[in-house]
Each structure stands twice: as C-alpha cells, then as structure tokens.
C-alpha cells in the first residue's frame, strides 16, 4: 500500500488535498512518521480518519450555494418535463420524441437526486410542481397543449441550464465538485442540442444544434423573443481578449459565435427561473 501514490491520485482530482489535510504541507510529515509506527493492518483506519478530517468538514458556503442554486434549476427542469409526460400524455408524440423527453426527464431527476445527496442536510427546500408555473405568468399559455410551444420553452430551459452551470464554474475552481458540475453541464448541452434538432424537425427553420447568430446579428437565434433573456451576449465573439471572428480563414462571425457558448450570471439566471415559479416560491 503506497500512501504517497494514493495521495497523488487524489491530488489529481483535488489539487487542495494537502491543504485540506492540514494547512501546512510540512505537517504531512507527521502523518508519515506516524505511519511508520503503526501496523500495516491499522493503516486503512488511519487513512480513513485522515480523509474524514479532510472532507468530512463543512463544505465552503460558496460551494453549497452553487450546488443549491443548481438544485433549484434541476427541480424546475425535472418538473417541466415530468409534467408533460405524466399530465399531458398526448402533448409529445409517441415514439422517438417521447423517448427523448423521457431520457431528458430521467437525467434531470438523476441530477436532483445527486445534488440533494451531495448537499445532505444543507440541501435547499424541495421545489414541487405546485410551486411552478410553466406558462410563465401567461407568457406561454399553450406550453402543455401545443407541442411546438413546449419545445420552445424546453430549449430556453436547456440553454439556460448550460449557461448557468458554466457561469458558476469559477466558484468551484480546484474543487472536486467542479468535475461533477461539468459532467452535469455537458449533459445539459447534449439535451439542448437534441431539443434544437427536435424543433428543426418540426419546421422551425434556422435552428442549429449549437447556438448561432440570430437574424440581423442579434444574440437570440430561436426566433422566440420571449426568451431573449436566455441568450443575452450569445452574439459575443471575443473570448479571453481574443477576437474569434476571422481568427482563421472561414471563421465567420456566426462560426465565432457558435463555437463558444456564453455564461449567464446567477442574477441573470434567477430572473429567468423566477418566470417559472409562482409568487412566494421565487428564488
């Protein structure tokens, strides 16, 4: 049993393992010196207590805040799809469309459960379907009776989810939780890609699997002005100070916009999410 290698493996996913174990790296020597004195059989126990010390403590409040924010969004997404499947069974056509929406619903539920489990007693209060309003106060009155409207709201949710997660990434920097968040984030992007294809298959023109430049250079490429807030800055083509348009032959403004998704701040996401929450339950 090579403890050093185990720690190195952990360090690969958690760069702060040593700081977690003890703020002073040099103090780790104490542990290894102790290791020499105790029997091999007792080592797993000693290691266990060491990791308990490292990870068993309270998660930094910023991390908890980010995860609870993500949990709220996942509740919303889950209820949005679940209600369509259980309460409006004729809304989504049978076959591939229902299978796709079911896949997505199941992922959102898995995300809810994963985040709830990770947060434990720090998890926010549950958001139930009764607390939601997917007509957005009458903005989308046909959300559960017109399939196309449903898909348009769905793409708003998915693209918001993608942008929301990446907007929080920096708050999870260097933390093992970041990897999990990124793994959720790219699944949301896969959903977004598919819903965009579902809209295209139902006659919505100009909608690509990736967010492109809207008509006349606007940020919103969906043609649904009610979801403009979801796409703010999506027509940006400068990344980390580098102008992407024309960076190589053939990289048009549209390509430059498509190849980087943009972030949304928490405040921006809250405004969008609150459209779908009843008064008294808003974030």
Q: Is 139 in the site for another protein (CB under 8 A)?
A: no
Q: Which member of 128, 179, 202, 265 binds another protein (CB under 8 A)?
A: 179
Q: Is 50 in the site for another protein (CB under 8 A)?
A: no
Q: Is 37 in the site for another protein (CB under 8 A)?
A: no
Q: Is 4 in the site for another protein (CB under 8 A)?
A: yes
Work out how close the CB of 125 gets to another protein at its nearest, in angstroms, rounded to a whole number: 21
Q: Is 27 in the site for another protein (CB under 8 A)?
A: no
Work out how close the CB of 138 gets to another protein at its nearest, in angstroms, rounded to a whole number: 31
Measured from the CB atom, the residue of 143 and 189 that comes closer to another protein is: 189
Q: Which residues contact 8 (CB under 8 A, 6 or more apart)?
A: none
How many CB atoms within 10 Å of residue 8? 11
Q: Is 233 in the site for another protein (CB under 8 A)?
A: no
Q: Is 232 in the site for another protein (CB under 8 A)?
A: no
State how far the Cα of 70 lies from the Cα of 75, in Å rounded to an integer: 9
Size of the site for another protein (CB under 8 A): 73
Q: Is 271 in the site for another protein (CB under 8 A)?
A: no
Q: If DSSP codes are grouped into helix, strand and coil, which group holds residue 168?
A: helix
Work out how close the CB of 280 gets to another protein at its nearest, in angstroms, rounded to a whole number: 29
**Over the range 54-71, which residues count as b (16 or more CB within 10 Å of their CB) and which as e?**
beeeebeeebbbbbbbbb
Q: Which member of 79, 116, 152, 191 binds another protein (CB under 8 A)?
A: 191
Q: Which member of 240, 267, 279, 280 binds another protein (CB under 8 A)?
A: 240
> Which two structure tokens, joined as six digits, stand for 49?
């207590």
Q: What is the footprint of another protein within residues 153-172 (CB under 8 A)?
A: 162, 165-166, 169-170
Q: Is 151 in the site for another protein (CB under 8 A)?
A: no
Measured from the CB atom, the residue of 139 and 169 that comes closer to another protein is: 169
Measured from the CB atom, the residue of 84 and 187 that comes closer to another protein is: 187
First to last CA, the chain: 48
Please spell the DSSP secondary structure of 65-134, one letter per residue: HHHHHHHHHHHHHHHHHHHHHHH-TTTSPTTHHHHHHHHHHHHHHHHHHHHHHHHGGGPPPPPPGGGB-T
Q: Is 79 in the site for another protein (CB under 8 A)?
A: no
Closest CA to 91 of 149, 135, 155, 145: 145
Q: Is 146 in the site for another protein (CB under 8 A)?
A: no
Residues 177 and 117 sit within 8 Å (Cβ to Cβ): no
Q: Which member of 72, 189, 230, 273 binds another protein (CB under 8 A)?
A: 189
Q: Which member of 23, 56, 215, 250 binds another protein (CB under 8 A)?
A: 250
Q: What are phi and psi of 239, to 5 degrees?
A: -120, 125
- Name the DSSP letter for residue 60: P
Q: Is 88 in the site for another protein (CB under 8 A)?
A: no
How do beta strands 242-243 and 238-239 pair? antiparallel
Q: Which member of 76, 192, 207, 213 binds another protein (CB under 8 A)?
A: 192
């Amino acid at each position: 049993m090579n403890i050093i290698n185990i720690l190195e493996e952990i360090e690969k996913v958690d760069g702060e393992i040593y700081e977690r174990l003890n703020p002073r790296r040099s103090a780790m020597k104490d542990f290894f010196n102790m290791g020499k004195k105790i029997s091999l059989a007792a080592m797993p126990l000693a290691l266990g207590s060491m990791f308990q010390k490292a990870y068993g403590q309270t998660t930094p409040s910023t991390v908890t805040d980010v995860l609870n924010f993500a949990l709220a969004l996942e509740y919303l997404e889950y209820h949005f799809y679940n209600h369509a499947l259980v309460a409006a069974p004729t809304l989504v056509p049978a076959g591939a469309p229902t299978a796709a929406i079911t896949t997505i619903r199941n992922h959102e539920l898995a995300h809810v459960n994963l985040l709830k489990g990770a947060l434990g007693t720090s998890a926010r209060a549950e958001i139930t379907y009764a607390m939601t309003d997917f007509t957005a106060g009458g903005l989308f009155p046909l959300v559960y009776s017109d399939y196309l409207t449903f898909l348009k709201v769905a793409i708003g949710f998915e693209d918001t989810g993608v942008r929301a997660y990446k907007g929080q990434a920096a708050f999870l920097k260097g933390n093992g939780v970041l990897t999990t968040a990124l793994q959720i984030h790219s699944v949301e992007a896969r959903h977004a890609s598919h819903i965009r294809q579902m809209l295209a298959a139902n006659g919505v023109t100009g909608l690509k699997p990736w967010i492109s430049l809207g008509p006349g250079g606007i940020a919103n490429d969906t043609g649904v002005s009610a979801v403009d807030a979801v796409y703010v800055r999506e027509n940006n083509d400068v990344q980390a100070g580098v102008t992407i348009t024309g960076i190589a032959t053939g990289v048009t403004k549209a390509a430059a916009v498509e190849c980087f998704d943009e972030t949304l701040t928490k405040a921006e996401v809250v405004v969008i999410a609150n459209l779908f929450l009843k008064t008294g339950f808003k974030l």
